[in-house]
Amino acid sequence: MQFDKNAIENLESRYRAALINSVSGFKPANLIGTANPQGETNLAVMSSVVHLGSHPPLLAMVVRPGGDERHTLANLLASGEYTINHINSDIYRQAHQTAARYPAKVSEFSATGLQEQWLEGFSAPFVALAEVKMAMQLRQHMPLEINGTHLVIGEIIHLELPDNAVRSDGSLNLPAAGTVALSGLDEYLTAVALARLSYAKPDLPLREISEESE
């Protein structure tokens, strides 16, 4: 099946949204926790978190200033703080339900039954049942004029991980943490490792890195 620029432009809008939201490949499935200056909490699924650098430890995300993401953006700009929580296979249905348009006064935490967890001295809530949790400090905010989205760059200032998912070299075993992936707008998936491959060098065959028992 092929689409050129005109064919994409002429697709029915929901079909185009479903298609174009799928073509980047697998997406990370995260819940973003924030609070407004009154301490009212908000929780939103975000599939756009992307690694920016490890020193300093920076993650970026693309936020659409509509619907639920509007509150996320307003809250994190006001407080300079937010949390990133991995969605796992025990909570993906509640996570997806956070996208419903609840009245402004209703927290997605209480509406979906996902419990809040707090870190002393940090203003944004974590998802208690998430296995991988990060406290983020806002470092840069760039509105992207090309389509009205916003690039939000934050630094990881606190990190919680399940012991059994951290390998001896520092890499995470995401399936062991229960972390799920997203595809398109609505599909949640678990993952199965094919292989870890050694650092590539010219004229040397790749080795498989075997899983250690921690």
Residues 108 to 147 in contact with its own copies, rule: CB under 8 A: 111, 132, 134, 139-140, 142, 144, 146-147
CA atoms of 170 and 162, how far apart (whole Å) = 12
CA atoms of 83 and 107, how far apart (whole Å) = 15
**Residue 132: CB minimum distance to its own copies, A:** 7
Q: Which of residues 37 and 104 has its CB atom nearest to its own copies in the complex? A: 104
**Residue 73: CB minimum distance to its own copies, A:** 15
Binding mask 194-213 for its own copies (x = CB under 8 A): xxxxxxxxx-x-x--x----
* Helix (H) or strand (E) segment spanning residue 95: helix 92-97
Rounded to a whole number, what is the distance in angstroms from the first to the last CA of the chain?
Answer: 46
Residue 171 in the binding site for its own copies (CB under 8 A): yes
Residue 3 in the binding site for its own copies (CB under 8 A): yes
Q: Give the residue from 181, 157, 204, 210 showing the smallest Cα distance to 95.
A: 181
Q: Give the residue from 127, 148, 150, 152 showing the smallest Cα distance to 137.
A: 152
Residue 66 in the binding site for its own copies (CB under 8 A): no
CA atoms of 105 and 63, how far apart (whole Å) = 21
**Residue 38: CB minimum distance to its own copies, A:** 21
Looking at 37, 53, 113, 143, which residue binds its own copies (CB under 8 A)? Answer: 53
